[in-house]
């Protein structure tokens, strides 16, 4: 067993000591039992998930495939950029550089 310190309100502590006297049990045993019940109830409620899980559920099945189109849809194109593209011209630069290297 591991020792720990718990801070509780004085009124709860008084009730806890009175309950321990009535049941003729140590306060520590009552606290262990109460904590165990609390933890077990939390486990039965299911695994905890971060609050942001599911907040991006759009209902569309193709979001992963269309992510760049959706991200850049409302952006104004850069001056001189090809306006028929869904992404900024700077995003295509690494591919153009790779193809230029392969021609050498």
pTM attached to this predicted model: 0.45
pLDDT confidence of residue 61 = 81
Cα(100)–Cα(104) distance, integer angstroms: 7
Cα(71)–Cα(65) distance, integer angstroms: 12
The SS3 call for residue 68 is helix
pLDDT confidence of residue 26 = 96
Confidence of residue 102 (pLDDT cuts 50, 70, 90): low
Cα(26)–Cα(34) distance, integer angstroms: 13
Q: What does the pLDDT look like over 23-41, one tens digit per residue?
A: 999 999 999 999 999 998 8
Q: What does the pLDDT look like over 42-53, one tens digit per residue?
A: 887 777 777 777
């Amino acid at each position: 067993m591991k020792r720990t310190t718990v801070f509780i309100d004085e009124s709860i502590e008084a009730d806890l000591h009175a309950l321990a006297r009535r049941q003729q049990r140590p306060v520590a045993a009552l606290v262990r039992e109460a904590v165990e019940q609390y933890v077990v109830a939390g486990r039965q409620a299911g695994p905890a998930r971060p609050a942001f899980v599911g907040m991006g559920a759009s209902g569309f099945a193709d979001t992963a495939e269309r992510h760049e189109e959706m991200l850049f849809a409302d952006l104004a194109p850069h001056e001189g950029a090809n306006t028929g593209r869904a992404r900024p011209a700077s995003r295509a630069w690494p591919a153009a550089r790779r193809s230029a290297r392969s021609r050498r």
